[in-house]
């Protein structure tokens, strides 16, 4: 069953037009963000508002149907960040420059790793470069996010 236009709109508004994983701005993106199933359909997830999150194309493609990731610090498999259950600022912080997201918890580190939030897997730095342009434009980081002091 397709997700209705109304539900998509409500997901976007609730997320304040930010990717709920990496906090990129949809407004600053070249592509419209995806409505992601937190519990994937392939694993029995429903099309209900409490199972949907706004995700940029990068995060959506890296997350795929994964619900767990490995915390690189402890090497333990843990649940990925769930924007319906967790607060972003409890699990993530922006490094001083605002270019890199650092996981503060096992969940945050596993999510950074699985979703490659800082382009470490590919070493192309595309998202970090984009963030530097967004900072210059005054669009990043989002005003509610914590920046490491």
pLDDT tens digits for 101-110? Answer: 999 999 999 9
| Lookup result for tokens 């069953």 | 1
For residue 108, the Cα-to-chain-centroid distance in whole angstroms is 10
Where along the chain do its domains lie? 5-137
Give the separation between CA 95 and CA 89, rounded to whole angstroms.
12
Burial readout 26-52 (b: 16 or more C-beta within 10 A, e: otherwise): beebeeebbbbbbbeeeeebeeeeebb
3-class DSSP assignment, residue 68 = strand
Looking at residue 33, the DSSP 8-state letter turns out to be P
In the prediction, which pLDDT does 144 show?
85
Who's near 27: CB < 8 A, 6+ residues apart?
Answer: 17, 139
pLDDT band with cut points at 50, 70 and 90 for residue 49 = very high
Confidence of residue 61 (pLDDT cuts 50, 70, 90): very high
Q: How far apart are CA 120 and CA 137, in angstroms?
A: 24
pLDDT at residue number 60 = 95
Nearest-angstrom CA–CA distance, 27 and 111: 23
């Amino acid at each position: 069953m397709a997700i209705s236009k109304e539900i998509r709109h409500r997901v976007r508004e609730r997320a304040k037009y930010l990717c709920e994983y990496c906090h990129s701005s949809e407004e600053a993106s070249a592509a419209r963000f995806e409505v992601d199933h937190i519990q994937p359909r392939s694993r029995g997830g429903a099309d209900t508002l409490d199972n949907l999150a706004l995700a940029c194309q990068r995060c959506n493609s890296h997350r795929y149907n994964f619900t767990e990731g490995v915390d690189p610090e402890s090497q333990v498999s843990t649940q990925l960040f769930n924007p319906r259950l967790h607060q972003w600022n409890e699990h993530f912080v922006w490094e001083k420059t605002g270019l890199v997201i650092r996981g503060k918890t096992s969940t945050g580190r596993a999510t950074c790793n699985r979703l490659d939030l800082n382009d470490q897997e590919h070493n192309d730095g595309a998202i970090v470069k984009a963030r530097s342009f967004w900072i210059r434009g005054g669009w990043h980081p989002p005003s509610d996010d914590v920046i490491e002091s």
